[in-house]
Homo-oligomer: A and B are copies of this chain.
């Protein structure tokens, strides 16, 4: 099949207006960091599951690889195209349902943003368990395809624990589906769980069914200035033991806060700078009780220098901005960005050793992330381009040496596939290859992602 033949078939499938080429592919062809980009054959925007199927079959017939893309907010090059790929944008699959109180579920098209899905839940006094700083752009299809984590994993689990069903198109154009929302449904292998977190390499997710839970009446948030990482870990343990309804425990460091303040994104929360700040949030029936529980936990930890506790939405938003502004403030500095996790007991040692690893590469680390899961967003600033790969390698090896995960949230994509062996055994990787070959024997979907070349 010629390129012209493929384009004709794609236009017939989705309509001329939804096959983008030339300058119209801007925004689809480059990822958010500018690090991953390619020249796609076309960007195709199907408007229904059947149109997705037609696009998949057209690409399969032409032997042209396909990469599904949602909000394009990932950081590992899973959804940004390589040269010669067709981008299948899910953004027109953006229908959002209303929560079903009988089953505790909410259905949405893969291309709906997380924000819209959260809003739909909230309008009915429900909440979605997943939350991310990129909620306004990230789509629920991408959230499921990457098994996104975020700040609320402590109480709600990662995305896979909240996906009650999905619909997806496989590489052969067949449509797998499970949208009943039954909490108990043991009927063969769990394809929903297999596809969740598969980063677009096994299927194009078209619809998802998410768990929603009643929205807690009250929230309270504490921002705490601490002596260092060991004190932050002590605070985490105290919070976990003593605060019912703990919903998030985040951290940031003095360097990152300074950048956020310098960029005008937040005011310095405390008179004196402190090495580490922890942001903790809890939910429950009553704000006063939550404020008291947080304050009591904070008071019992040594190494606390200062603290602020808030229960109103406006005050809480101000505390969160200190944390959430990090990604955008850091972006122009083009750091080496690595999303990793280590077991919480190893966190202090990992952070201490990280400075040496960064310095050896000519840079210095700015760290923030989700303390509750030992999930560190490592940003190494000032690394010369020719040493970026060495720094990446050294950081990921340090993570593995501490029994950690080379990818906590963002997945493997193109960025980390050469280090997959640091996170999984040869037997595990071989089994993954067999699953990939079984469901996508021609390598049509997102080639060059997740699994290293043989």
Closest to A429 in B: B188
In contact, A196 and B190 (Cβ under 8 angstroms): yes
Contact bitstring A169-210, B, C-beta under 8 A = 1, else 0: 010001111101111111111110110111000100000000
Q: Are A407 and B175 in contact (CB under 8 A)?
A: no
Bound-state CA distance A170–B428 (Å) is: 10
Question: Is A160 at the interface (CB under 8 A from chain B)?
Answer: yes
- Which of B149, B174, B420, B437 lies in contact with A430, CB distance below 8 A? B174
A290 to chain B, nearest CB (A): 14
**What copy number does this chain have within its complex?**
2
Q: Is the interface on chain A under 10, 10 to 19, 20 to 34, or 35 or more residues?
A: 35 or more
A74, B281: Cα distance in complex, Å: 43
The reply to whether A175 and B373 form a contact with Cβ atoms under 8 Å apart is no
Q: Which residue of B lies closest to A451 (CB)?
A: B188
Interface mask (A239-260 → B, CB under 8 Å = 1, otherwise 0):
0010010000000000000000
Task: Verify B374–A427 contact, CB threshold 8 A.
Answer: no
Taking a contact as CB atoms under 8 Å apart, the answer to whether B182 and A373 are in contact is: yes
Against B, the Cβ 8 Å flags (1 = close, 0 = not) of A130-164 are 00000000000000001101000100011011000
Contacts of A7 in B (CB 8 A): none
A431 close to chain B: CB less than 8 A? yes
Provide the bound-state CA to CA distance between A197 and B181, in Å: 17
In the bound complex, do residue A194 and residue B190 qualify as a contact, i.e. CB atoms below 8 Å apart?
yes
Q: What 1/0 flags go to A405-442 for Cβ under 8 Å of B?
A: 11111111000000010011101111110111111000
A340 to chain B, nearest CB (A): 9
Of all A-B residue pairs in the complex, the 6 with the closest CB atoms, nearest first, are A438-B438, A187-B423, A174-B427, A193-B193, A184-B408, A185-B405
Task: Write 20 A-B pairs (CB below 8 A) sorted by A numbering.
Answer: A147-B190, A174-B430, A177-B428, A180-B405, A182-B408, A184-B370, A184-B409, A185-B408, A187-B407, A187-B420, A188-B420, A188-B424, A188-B428, A188-B450, A189-B197, A190-B193, A190-B196, A190-B197, A431-B439, A434-B438
Q: Can you name 11 extra interface pairs (CB under 8 A) apart from A186-B410, A214-B241?
A: A161-B161, A170-B427, A170-B431, A174-B431, A184-B373, A184-B375, A186-B411, A188-B432, A189-B197, A189-B450, A190-B194
